[in-house]
Amino acid sequence: MLEKYSVTLQGVIRRAEARLLLATAEPVFGEPPQDILKKVNDANSEKLLDWSRRLRTAQSWSELITD
């Protein structure tokens, strides 16, 4: 999806997606543990989108952020 953008812009977009996911999920699940933060920060855009879609049905960070 992001292939048409420069590598730099892709990184900026991915970081923004990660921040949005964390900001949206934190009020629901509380502060994320370090292992969850690492997974989110290391995830690609498609994985972040998958996790965002799960936000409505997940009951915890570990249910939301899976491998």
Domain ranges of the chain: 7-64
Can you give the pLDDT at residue 2? 59
User: Crossing angle for the helix pair 7-29 and 45-54, nearest 10 degrees?
Assistant: 20
C-alpha torsion sign, points 60, 47, 40, 42: positive
Q: Which residues of the chain have pLDDT under 70?
A: 1-3
Q: Residue 67 has what pLDDT? A: 79
pLDDT of residue 1: 55
pTM: 0.86
pLDDT confidence of residue 43: 96
